[in-house]
Amino acid sequence: MGTKFRTMLAPIGLSTGDGRRFQSGAISLDALPMPFEWVRSREGGHDGAVSVGAVQTATVATVKEAIAAGYVSAEAAKGLDAKMEAVWATGEMFDDADRETMPTLAEDVATAMHLMTEGTLGPSVDLDSFVGVPVFEGTDEPITYDDYEDYIIEHDGEEPKIELLVTEGRVRAGTLVSIPAFAETARPLELIVEDAEDAELEGDTQAAALIEADPAAEPVLDVAALIASVAQATRPLAGHFSLPALTGPTPPIFDWDNGTVYGHIATWQTCHVGYADVCVTAPKDEAGDYAWFNRFPVETEDGGTVWAGRITVGGRHAGLELSASAAMSAYDTKVVAAHVRAYEDEYGIVVAGVIDRLAYDPGTRAILDRRKVSGDWRETPNGLSLVEVLALSPGPRAHSEPGFPVPGTFSVNGRQTALTAALGPDAGTLPVTRFATGTLDIAGAVQAALREDRKAEAARAELAADLKRLADNERAVLAAALGQSD
């Protein structure tokens, strides 16, 4: 039997970042079981998804009702409106697949479950029988292109915020993605292991939750631990993530005996060697808390939850044309070598945390022992924000030598939008002007559809007028002919 899961698939009545919203009463469920899939790479939508489990039960219910029915734990539901409706599901992962007879399935499931335990995946839904209408944001009344134009006139040229309201849709599958349309679905995603005291998932999939419910009751009702924590055999100490007292610029130090890491990833006084006539140094965090980097909750042994970022290993930096969210998604495919919290001190940007057990692999350890790491900054509402730290592998000097800051830069419309502390992009790479958002342009699509509807309406009116003129002419010709015959 595989590991059980429970999750929210989609909230109802809340908007996605790209402007979609499910209307209350609009969602129905296909026959069970349904596929539970994982999208390996961001090819667009859920293209390329593979099955890694099965949805065995599903319902549309409020948060309060879902807690009572065992679709979510009270702990995971903290912060959610008890009256909010959502699509909920429970099911089973295929991690019991035989690695000898089904190696591809076993690898897919192991990878997906590892990413789930790292908190880097969230579920979404696949719908068919889909019906949607354009509405002004927060309303349920369909709009026309005339409504759209009237709004612009009434608001001195201001564009209205438009949503696509889904009025009918049937759920056919649940799909794990790196950036779910609804951010609310990531936290309630829970893996559940029965008899958890004896439970141990192999390799990348170690994630156990203690079952506190009556053994005679449903095993999904009460869970003591969530999976959104560092994939460690034991929980780290909170002190490992504290700002270290360094006496000067300090390259990252990986203490393999104690399982800790600390040091600077950039210094304030080191110039970007990519600029010949100006000194460009590492960006300071405007808010001072490095929230875009310190975005993963880590459960500690003695200090509750610590928010930390990652040091990843594998290949090169994410493409400089990517947005912050898309870049973060790109790093999800790499090996997580450590979870560290970022700070600023008088010398530069310093990180401190714990080494992940996966980093003890000889190949990964050899890369980390080079002590050459490179930050990745992306444009956010707070300016350039640190989103990831990559340990550089041996290879061409442009991609293996940081000496921070030794970054390549990327700009859109004259402003800097990305900065990586490696020497630069691939030779021959041309700058692009498109700034990828990683989301669908729902508002733009709706506006285009409204324009097309108006054009079609105008064409229909013109055709009707032509037909009327033709009919009038024919009647006149017929009348004349009849008059002549008389």
Contact 10, 185 (CB under 8 A): yes
* Residue 142: DSSP 8-state: B
Examine the domain organization and report whether 254 and 196 are in the same domain: no
- Per-residue pLDDT for the chain (486 aa), expressed as one digit of tens each? 789 999 998 889 888 766 788 898 988 988 889 999 988 765 445 556 789 999 999 999 999 999 999 898 888 888 888 999 999 999 999 988 888 888 888 888 998 888 888 777 888 888 876 788 888 888 888 888 788 888 888 888 888 888 888 888 888 888 888 777 676 666 678 887 554 333 333 332 332 232 233 333 333 322 222 223 333 346 899 999 999 998 888 888 899 888 999 999 988 887 765 556 667 788 899 888 999 999 999 999 887 899 999 999 877 888 888 889 888 988 988 889 999 999 999 989 999 999 998 788 777 888 888 888 888 989 898 888 999 999 887 755 555 555 444 333 344 444 555 565 554 333 333 222 222 223 445 556 556 666 666 666 677 677 777 767 777 776 776 677 666 544
Peptide bond into 405 cis (omega under 30): yes
Examine the domain organization and report whether 54 and 151 are in the same domain: yes
Task: Please tell me whether the overall predicted TM-score, pTM, comes out greater than 0.75 for this model.
Answer: no
Q: Is residue 213 part of a domain?
A: no
Q: Which of 205, 220, 247 is the last residue of a domain?
A: 205
d(CA 475, CA 465): 15
Q: Is residue 146 part of a domain?
A: yes
CB neighbours of residue 416 within 10 Å = 15
Examine the domain organization and report whether 120 and 185 are in the same domain: yes
Q: Which of 420, 435, 467 is the last residue of a domain?
A: 420
Total domain count, the chain: 2
Q: Which of 420, 436, 454 is the last residue of a domain?
A: 420
Examine the domain organization and report whether 394 and 350 are in the same domain: yes
DSSP-derived 3-state class of residue 417: strand
Q: Is residue 224 part of a domain?
A: no
Tell me which residue range forms the domain holding 184: 4-205
Examine the domain organization and report whether 192 and 252 are in the same domain: no
Terminal CA-to-CA distance of the chain, rounded, Å? 93
Contact 372, 264 (CB under 8 A): no
Examine the domain organization and report whether 172 and 275 are in the same domain: no
Q: Is residue 454 part of a domain?
A: no
Examine the domain organization and report whether 23 and 159 are in the same domain: yes
